[in-house]
């Protein structure tokens, strides 16, 4: 069902020709990220939150922190769940109803980048071992789809987690009890940064806009941690990359990641 938007042929050619010339249709260099704004604390009812604008893409993310039951085999760790939604107001192609394959991939890639980087030290999110732990729910809502939702949702999630003020619980008779008037900082171990790159012909571009996204042959999302190590990957699209391209993508992800990281880290100040 639904619609699938088409980019007009003249624009498609312009996007490809611009990339080949080294200066993209919107004037950016090939490794340039669009204008990024990060507003932490926009949803005071959530323990952490952020609105991120990446070019024309806008994401609002909230973090809820609640006591949770641990998984049977990891009673010494808190739980982390990350979801993503593209509500139908974000784009005419987005539909209400059960999440599509693409939306599920989006949520899982954002989740993986944060989880595998060990951004949160989950061992510090235990109320009582094997009985009660702290659950961190990160819900991403794409308000406006201007392309590259992977990075926009990842930045919004990371900023929302960094902005968190976490309640404190202690174990009561049989259930955790909120300790009134106390809060703590989230146990942050590293700050992951997702960098999505696309290939158009032989050229690799960083942070594709929506019209570029519609012209990609293949894409690759690389998440790096504060040490500059690679902690999560996702290749997508209809075609592939050469090993040389993958190597240069890794270098790009590390250097672009290092430029973006301080922008996300500033969200700590919203606590």
Question: Which chain residues interact with another protein by CB under 8 A?
Answer: 1-3, 6-12, 14, 42-46, 49, 56, 60-64, 66, 83, 85, 87-92, 96, 137, 139, 141, 143-146
119/113 Cα distance (integer angstroms): 9
Cβ proximity to another protein: between 10 and 238 the closer is: 10
Q: Least distance from C-beta 91 to another protein, angstroms?
A: 5
Q: DSSP string covering 97-130, please?
A: SSPPHHHHHHHHHHHHHHHHHT-B-GGG-EEETT
State the DSSP code for 228: S
98/168 Cα distance (integer angstroms): 35
Q: Least distance from C-beta 220 to another protein, angstroms?
A: 25
Cβ proximity to another protein: between 98 and 243 the closer is: 98
41 conformational bin, left if phi > 0, alpha if psi -120 to 50, beta if neither: left
Contact 196, 208 (CB under 8 A): yes
Q: Least distance from C-beta 170 to another protein, angstroms?
A: 20
Q: Least distance from C-beta 228 to another protein, angstroms?
A: 32
Cβ proximity to another protein: between 85 and 116 the closer is: 85
For residue 158, what are its two tokens? 């990371």
Task: Find the angle CA(215)-CA(216)-CA(218) to the nearest 5 degrees.
Answer: 160
Cβ proximity to another protein: between 9 and 243 the closer is: 9
Cβ proximity to another protein: between 149 and 204 the closer is: 149
Q: Least distance from C-beta 173 to another protein, angstroms?
A: 22
């Amino acid at each position: 069902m639904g619609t699938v938007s088409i980019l007009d042929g003249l624009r498609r050619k312009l996007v490809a020709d611009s990339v080949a010339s080294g200066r993209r249709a919107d004037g950016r260099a090939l490794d340039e990220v669009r204008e990024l704004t990060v507003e932490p604390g926009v949803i005071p009812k959530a323990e952490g939150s952020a609105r991120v604008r990446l070019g024309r893409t806008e994401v609002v993310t909230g973090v809820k922190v609640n006591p949770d039951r641990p998984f049977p085999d990891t009673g010494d760790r808190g739980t982390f769940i990350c979801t993503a939604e593209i509500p139908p107001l974000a784009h005419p192609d987005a539909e209400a109803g059960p999440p599509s394959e693409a939306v599920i991939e989006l949520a899982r890639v954002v989740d993986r980048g944060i989880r595998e980087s060990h951004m949160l030290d989950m061992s510090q999110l235990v109320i009582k071992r094997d009985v009660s732990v702290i659950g961190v729910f990160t819900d991403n809502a794409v308000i406006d789809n201007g392309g590259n939702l992977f990075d926009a949702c990842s930045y919004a999630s990371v900023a929302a987690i960094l902005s968190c003020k976490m309640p404190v619980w202690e174990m009561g008779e049989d259930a955790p009890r909120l300790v009134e008037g106390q809060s703590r900082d989230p146990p942050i171990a590293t700050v992951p940064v997702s960098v999505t790159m696309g290939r158009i012909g032989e050229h690799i571009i960083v942070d594709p806009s929506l019209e570029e996204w519609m012209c990609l042959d293949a894409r690759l999302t690389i998440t790096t941690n504060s040490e500059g190590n690679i902690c999560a990957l996702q290749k997508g699209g209809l075609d592939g990359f050469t090993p040389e391209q993958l190597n240069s993508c890794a270098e790009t992800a590390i250097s672009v990641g290092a430029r973006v990281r301080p922008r996300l880290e500033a969200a700590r100040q919203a606590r």
